[in-house]
Chains A and B, each alone.
Chain A
Amino acid sequence: MPTSSSPTELFERQLSRLGEEHFLVLLWAATGEYKQVKYNITNLFDDLKHGGITRTKQTAVAIVESLRILCFIDVRDERNRKNIYITEFGAKALEKLIKTGRYVKKGSAFLEEVKS
Chain B
Amino acid sequence: MRTIGIGGAGSKIAVKLDAQSVVVNISEVELSKIPTSGEKIQASLRDGSGVFQGARMDPQIGLEAYGSVSRQLSNLVRGAMVIAATGGGTGNGITAGILKELAGRAEKIAVEEKTVFALVLPYAKMEPDEFVINTSDFLNGPVAAAIDSGNTGNIFMFSNRCKFEKQLAEDKYNQMIVNSLRDFFAIPAKNAQLKLLEEHIDQADFALYLSKPYFNHFTSFNYNPDNDFGKQLSARWNPLLLPPEQAIEALFLLEVPAGNDGTCFYNILKYFNDQDVKPLYSVVENPNLKNPRVSVSLLYSRKPAEEVQDLNRESEEHAQTKVRRTIDQYVELEPLQVNLDNEAAKVKSDGQDDVIAMLKRINKL
- A30-B359, A91-B359 known; A99+B352 contact, CB < 8 A: yes
Can you sample 30 A-B contacts with CB below 8 Å? A27-B355, A30-B355, A30-B358, A30-B359, A30-B362, A31-B358, A33-B364, A34-B358, A86-B359, A86-B362, A86-B364, A88-B365, A90-B364, A91-B359, A91-B362, A91-B364, A91-B365, A94-B359, A95-B355, A95-B356, A95-B359, A95-B365, A98-B351, A98-B352, A98-B356, A99-B352, A101-B348, A101-B349, A101-B352, A105-B351
The reply on B172 being an interface residue by CB < 8 A is: no
Q: What string of 1s and 0s marks CB contacts (under 8 Å) between B338-365 and chain A?
A: 0000000000110110011011011011
User: What A residues does B365 contact at CB under 8 A?
Assistant: 88, 91-92, 95
Q: Does A87 contact B (CB under 8 A)?
A: yes
A105: chain B residues at CB < 8 Å are 351, 355
Question: What residues of B have a CB within 8 angstroms of the CB of A90 in the complex?
Answer: 364
Q: Which residue of B lies closest to A116 (CB)?
A: B358
A98 near B364 with CB under 8 A, answer: no
Which residues of B are interface residues toward A (Cβ below 8 A)?
A: 348-349, 351-352, 355-356, 358-359, 361-362, 364-365
| In contact, B355 and A88 (Cβ under 8 angstroms) | no
Q: How far is the CA of A33 from the CA of B225 in the complex (A)?
A: 107
Question: A33 CB to closest chain B CB, in angstroms?
Answer: 5
- Could you tell me if A34 and B361 are in contact, using CB atoms closer than 8 angstroms? yes
Nearest Cβ distance between residue A74 and chain B, in whole angstroms?
A: 11
- State how many residues of chain A have any CB contact under 8 Å with chain B: 17
Complex Cα distance A87/B362, Å? Answer: 10
- Which residue of chain B lies nearest to A91 when distances are taken between CB atoms in the complex? B364
In the bound assembly, the distance between CA atoms of A101 and B365 in angstroms comes to 18
CB distance from B226 to the nearest CB of A (A): 93
Chain A residues with CB under 8 Å of B351's CB are: 98, 105
Set of chain B residues within 8 Å of A34, measured between Cβ atoms: 358, 361-362
User: Which residues of A lie under 8 Å from residue B352 when comparing CB positions?
Assistant: 98-99, 101
| CA gap between A41 and B349 in the complex, in Å | 30
CA distance A105 to B352 in the complex (A): 9
Q: In chain A, residues 43-93, which have Cβ atoms closer than 8 Å to a Cβ of chain B?
A: 86-88, 90-92
B355 & A87 in contact (Cβ 8 Å cutoff): no
For window 1-42 of A, CB contacts with B under 8 Å fall at 27, 30-31, 33-34
CA distance A27 to B364 in the complex (A): 12
Given contacts A30-B359, A91-B362, A98-B352, 19 further A-B contacts (CB under 8 A): A27-B355, A30-B364, A31-B358, A33-B362, A33-B364, A34-B358, A86-B359, A86-B362, A88-B364, A88-B365, A94-B355, A94-B359, A95-B355, A95-B359, A95-B365, A98-B351, A98-B355, A99-B352, A101-B352
**CB nearest neighbor in A for B351:** A105
Please give me the residue from chain B that is nearest to A36 by CB atom.
B362
A108 to B351: give the CA distance in the assembly, Å. 15
Q: Which A residues lie within 8 Å of B348 (CB)?
A: 101
